[in-house]
Amino acid sequence: MERELKYADLVEQPISMNPKKFALWLFMVSVVMVFAGLTSAYIVRQSEGNWLEYDLPEIFWVTSGIALLSSVTLHWAYYSARKDNFANLKIGMVLTVLLGIAFLVGQWYSWVAMVDREVFFVGNPSGSFLYVFTGLHAVHLISGVIFLIIVLISTFRLKVHSRALNTMEMATTYWHFLGGLWLYLFMFLLLNH
């Protein structure tokens, strides 16, 4: 009997992950695959010629700064949640939501700037790709802002704290992912437009 117990103690525990976190990671991998396919299609189509050259809107620099700053404020909020510092947690979450909305407004103004430069969704494929990249990212960003608002509400209800971080961790992971995705797209467009 004693020998059987020793053997049972040596059995390794399987690696486990929260199912919601696992689903989030699968979703993010699928988003990466979509954008990898789109950027590959961009390069292939650009090499075929008949490609409109244009300057990217300057507001892309501003939205990139907003994306970086929003990641900093969200990480500060996450750190505050781990330390049960509810005042900083609330401030960080409010700032992150406002910065997320500011990013979306900036994306809208980037489209206005493109129309002013006579780069349209319909017409030359170079403009179409820009609108698809930024529009698809904006759709994901809207879902991220909604997720942040849900966490913000939970924060004010004191449901986010050091012993209940699952939703906060997921929101932080997704938001950092969206920020990284934007920086990738911006750098890609800077180098290939």
pLDDT in tens, 109-165: 999 999 998 888 888 888 899 999 999 999 999 999 999 999 999 999 999 998 989
Residue 3, pLDDT score: 54
3-class secondary-structure state, position 13: coil
Residue 53, pLDDT score: 85
Looking at beta carbons, which pairs linking 83-92 to residues 24 or more positions away fall under 8 Å? 83/162, 84/161, 84/162, 86/155, 86/158, 86/161, 89/155, 89/160, 90/152, 90/155, 90/156
First and final C-alpha spacing in the chain: 71
User: Tell me, what DSSP letter sits at residue 56?
Assistant: P
Residue 161: strand pairing partners: 164
Residue 131, pLDDT score: 94
Side chain identity, residue 57:
P
- Distance CA(32)–CA(24), nearest Å, equals 12
Q: What are the domain boundaries of the chain?
A: 59-193
pLDDT in tens, 34-63: 999 999 999 999 998 888 888 899 999 999
User: What is the pLDDT confidence band of residue 193, given thresholds at 50, 70 and 90?
Assistant: confident
The dihedral built from the CA positions of residue 142, 174, 62 and 136, taken in this order, carries a sign that is negative
Fold of 59-193: Four Helix Bundle (Hemerythrin (Met), subunit A) (1.20.120)
Residue 90, pLDDT score: 96
3-class secondary-structure state, position 163: coil
Kindly report the pTM of this predicted structure: 0.88
